[in-house]
Amino acid sequence: MIAQKQIYKCNVCGNMVEVLYVGGGELTCCNQAMELLAEKNDDTGMEKHVPVIEETTDGVIVKVGSVAHPMEESHYIAVIEISDGDTEQKAFLQPGDAPEARFVTIANLSSISAREYCTVHGLWKS
């Protein structure tokens, strides 16, 4: 069942979409159903992906992850997002950037969650 904020990926061309409003249809791309990406939170591999949220003087900084993630052409963090439930902010990253993003927010730190998308290892949430 499609739900708001879910992220879907086309396994043919790589397009990714986020659901802003549920209309009821099926999401398709390249003539096949798009895959719902699971939000992983179990860091067991060598590279760490779960976003780490730290408070700053005017908001938060989100780092990926507990050990800095690679930011190479073939493997990098493409998006970091924070949400307090009602509002979201996204930062789009490029290879060579630091695997982190700063956000100005008035939300309480305890109400903020973060997601990130790794181009090799998928979607992660804290």
Contact residues toward Fe ion (CB under 5 A) are 47, 118, 120-121
Query: Cβ–Cβ contacts within 10 Å for residue 73, how many?
Result: 9
Given the complex with Fe ion, which of 6 and 119 has the nearer CB atom?
Answer: 119
- C-alpha distances in Å from residue 38, one per residue of 6, 35, 61, 94, 104: 9, 9, 23, 23, 27
CB of 39 to Fe ion, least distance (A): 15
Q: Are the beta carbons of 54 and 84 closer than 8 angstroms?
A: no
CB of 79 to Fe ion, least distance (A): 13
Given the complex with Fe ion, which of 59 and 122 has the nearer CB atom?
Answer: 122
CB of 47 to Fe ion, least distance (A): 5
Given the complex with Fe ion, which of 47 and 84 has the nearer CB atom?
Answer: 47
